[in-house]
C-alpha cells in the first residue's frame, strides 16, 4: 500500500466514523442510560437524547481515521509473513493494534459524551470543564483500560468475522463483494460481537460514570464486573444488550459499508 492509499484509508475511515456516530447517537444515549447506576429514568429517560453530541462530533473523525489507517497498515505489514490459513490471525492482530491507537482519541470523547448523556441539563462543554477542574487530564482517560479491554475482544470477533463473510460471499458469487454486501457482512459481524462483549461495555460505562474516589472509579474491570453481578446478577451484566446489538448491527452496516464505498470512490 503506497502513501495515497494510506491517505484514502484515513479519509474513508474518518467519514465512516462521523456517519455512524451521528446517525446512531440516540440509540447510544438510550444504551448508556440503561447501563447507568442511577437507572434509566433518573439518567434522563428519553429526554435530551442528543446530550453529549458535540463531544462525539469532534472525536469521531480522528478516532475512526486513526483506527483504519492503523488497521490497514498492520495488515499490509504482516501480509508477507502470514500464510493464507493465518489470515484471521492477521486481522485479529491488525484490529487489536488499531484499537490501542484509536482509544487514545476515543476515550476522552467517550468520557465527556457519557457523562453528558446521563446529565442532559448540563452543557457538554461544562461537563468537559468539570472533568478537567476536578480530575485533571487523567480524568479524561478514566476507563481507558476498560475501554481497551472491551474494544479488543470486540474487534477480535468483529473484524475476522467481517473479513470471513466477505471472502465467503465473494467465493459464492465468483467476484469481490460490493459496498452494500460488505455492509451486510458488517451488520452481522457487529451484532454478534456486540452481544458477546456487552458485560465489558457495562463495566466500562460504570467506571466512566462512577463518582470520583469510589471503588469502581479506580478503573479495575474485574471488581466492576463483580459488583454489577453481586447487585444485579446476570441481567445487570447484559443491561442494554438489545439497543447495543441494534446500534452496532446498524452501525456495522453504515460504518463498514461507508468505509468500503468511500475507499472505492477515492481509489
Output the pLDDT for position 177.
87
Please tell me whether residues 126 and 178 are part of one structural domain.
no
CATH of the domain at 5: 1.50.40.10
Written as nine digits, the cell of 77 is 505489514
Residue 150 lies in a domain: no
How do residues 134-144 score in pLDDT, each as one tens digit? 888 888 888 78
Max intra-chain CA distance, the chain? 58
Please tell me whether residues 97 and 184 are part of one structural domain.
no
CA nearest neighbour of 200 among 244, 157, 161, 151: 151
Residue 65 lies in a domain: yes
Q: Give me the residue label for grid cell 460488505.
A: 182
How many domains, in total, are found in the chain? Answer: 2
How do residues 19-46 score in pLDDT, each as one tens digit? 888 888 888 888 888 888 888 888 888 8
pLDDT of 3 above 70: no
Give percent of the chain with pLDDT exceeding 90: 13
Please tell me whether residues 47 and 178 are part of one structural domain.
no
Write down the mean pLDDT value for the chain.
86
How do residues 144-194 score in pLDDT, each as one tens digit? 887 888 788 888 888 889 889 999 999 999 888 888 898 999 899 999 999
* HSE, side-chain direction, 13 A CA sphere, residue 148: 15
Output the pLDDT for position 247.
82
Interacting residues of 117 by C-beta distance below 8 A, sequence separation 6+: 28, 29, 32, 33, 43, 44, 51, 52
| CA pair distance 100, 153, nearest whole angstrom | 12
Beta carbons of 59 and 105 less than 8 angstroms apart: yes
Amino acid at each position: 500500500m503506497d502513501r495515497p492509499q494510506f491517505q484514502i484509508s484515513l479519509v474513508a475511515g474518518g467519514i465512516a466514523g462521523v456517519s455512524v456516530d451521528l446517525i446512531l447517537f440516540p440509540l447510544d444515549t438510550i444504551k448508556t442510560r440503561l447501563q447507568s447506576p442511577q437507572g434509566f429514568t433518573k439518567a434522563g429517560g428519553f429526554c435530551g437524547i442528543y446530550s453529549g453530541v458535540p463531544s462525539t462530533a469532534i472525536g469521531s473523525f480522528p478516532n475512526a481515521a486513526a483506527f483504519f489507517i492503523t488497521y490497514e497498515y498492520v495488515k499490509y505489514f504482516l501480509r508477507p509473513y502470514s500464510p493464507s490459513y493465518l489470515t484471521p490471525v492477521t486481522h485479529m492482530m491488525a484490529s487489536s493494534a488499531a484499537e490501542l491507537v484509536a482509544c487514545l482519541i476515543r476515550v476522552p470523547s467517550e468520557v465527556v459524551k457519557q457523562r453528558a448523556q446521563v446529565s442532559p441539563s448540563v452543557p457538554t462543554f461544562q461537563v468537559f470543564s468539570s472533568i478537567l477542574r476536578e480530575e485533571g487530564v487523567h480524568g479524561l482517560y478514566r476507563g481507558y483500560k476498560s475501554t481497551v479491554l472491551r474494544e479488543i475482544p470486540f474487534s477480535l470477533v468483529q473484524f475476522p468475522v467481517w473479513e470471513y463473510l466477505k471472502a465467503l460471499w465473494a467465493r459464492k458469487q465468483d467476484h469481490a463483494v460490493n459496498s452494500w454486501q460488505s455492509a451486510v457482512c458488517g451488520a452481522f459481524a457487529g451484532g454478534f460481537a456486540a452481544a458477546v462483549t456487552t458485560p465489558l461495555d457495562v463495566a466500562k460505562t460504570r467506571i466512566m460514570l462512577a463518582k470520583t474516589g469510589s471503588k469502581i472509579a479506580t478503573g479495575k474491570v474485574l471488581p466492576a464486573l463483580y459488583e454489577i453481578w453481586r447487585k444485579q446478577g446476570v441481567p445487570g451484566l447484559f443491561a442494554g444488550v438489545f439497543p447495543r446489538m441494534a446500534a452496532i448491527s446498524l452501525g456495522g452496516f453504515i460504518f463498514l459499508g461507508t468505509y468500503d464505498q468511500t475507499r472505492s470512490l477515492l481509489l
